[in-house]
Amino acid sequence: MFIGHFAVGFAAKKFAPRASLLPLLAAPLFCDILWPIFLILGWEHVRIVPGFTRFNSYDLYDFPWSHSLLMCVVWATVFSAIYYASARYRPGAIAIWIGVLSHWVLDWITHVPDMPLYPGGGPRLGLSLWNHVAATMAVEILMLLAGVYLYASATRSRDRIGKYAFYAYVLVLLVLFISDRFSGQPAPASASVAAHDIFLPSVIAEVVLLVWPWWFDRHRIERAT
């Protein structure tokens, strides 16, 4: 899943309006933030198999440290505890815990059966939504729009940045998601090449896609109810 994870972060603002959008978005993205780092460290592995699913050509045969259910619970608890220690804001800490864990649930719905329960073997689960292109598009886009709606109903802009940088961000997410679908499949590559090909673009994308919402969120305030 891609923009569906952002939807969870946006929606969390409704539940924890005093938390910055940055940790609220970083939480549901957390497993995918760890993934390229663990790939480049050689702790996890991926193969590029063109047409592996109808939506995505990654064969995610080994990623238990970033994406097993057990490790998601661990990451959720660590992230949430660090947040609570620094911000002392209970709704934010709860939203972050649920947010990190939501990543596993949403990936489980979209992935082919490759989602581990714990590192070191065991069953691997997945409902394979990625094999249904139209359904994947519909689910993710509807989720994002719902999340953005909740965010917009919990906050209002203080100035033009709070308004237009927010709109532009949502538009860019949609364009990235849709254009990704129509871009050519990457050429077959070995696992080690795949790690290097994935690392830098992923890190750059993550930094941009987290700093940008941090910026416009500072130009929006909680809507009085």
Among 9, 23, 32, 34, binds Zn ion (CB under 5 A): 32
**What is the distance between the alpha carbons of residues 222 and 14, in angstroms, rounded to a whole number?**
9
Closest CA relative to residue 150, chosen from 14, 8, 9: 14
Tokens of 35: 């993934």
Closest CA relative to residue 94, chosen from 106, 71, 77: 77
**107 near Zn ion, judged by CB under 5 A:** yes
Stretch that binds Zn ion, among 100-108, 155-163, 179-187, 188-196 (CB under 5 A): 100-108
Closest CA relative to residue 129, chosen from 184, 67, 55: 55
**140 near Zn ion, judged by CB under 5 A:** no
Q: Which of residues 40-59 bind Zn ion (CB under 5 A)?
A: none
Q: Which of residues 142-161 bind Zn ion (CB under 5 A)?
A: none
Sorted by sequence, the CB contacts under 8 Å of residue 71 that are 6+ apart come out as 64, 65, 118, 119
| Residue matched to tokens 């949403």 | 106
Stretch that binds Zn ion, among 6-14, 25-33, 123-131, 212-220 (CB under 5 A): 25-33
Would you give the distance in Å from CA 110 to the centre of its chain?
Answer: 13
Stretch that binds Zn ion, among 23-31, 81-89, 132-140, 208-216 (CB under 5 A): 23-31
Number of residues that bind Zn ion (CB under 5 A): 3
Residue 52 or 89 with smaller CB distance to Zn ion:
52
Stretch that binds Zn ion, among 13-21, 29-37, 164-172, 193-201 (CB under 5 A): 29-37
CB of 141 to Zn ion, least distance (A): 18
45-48/58-62 β-pairing: antiparallel
CB of 156 to Zn ion, least distance (A): 32
Say which DSSP state 189 is in: B
Residue 107 or 140 with smaller CB distance to Zn ion:
107
58-62/220-222 β-pairing: unpaired
Binding site for Zn ion (CB under 5 A): 31-32, 107
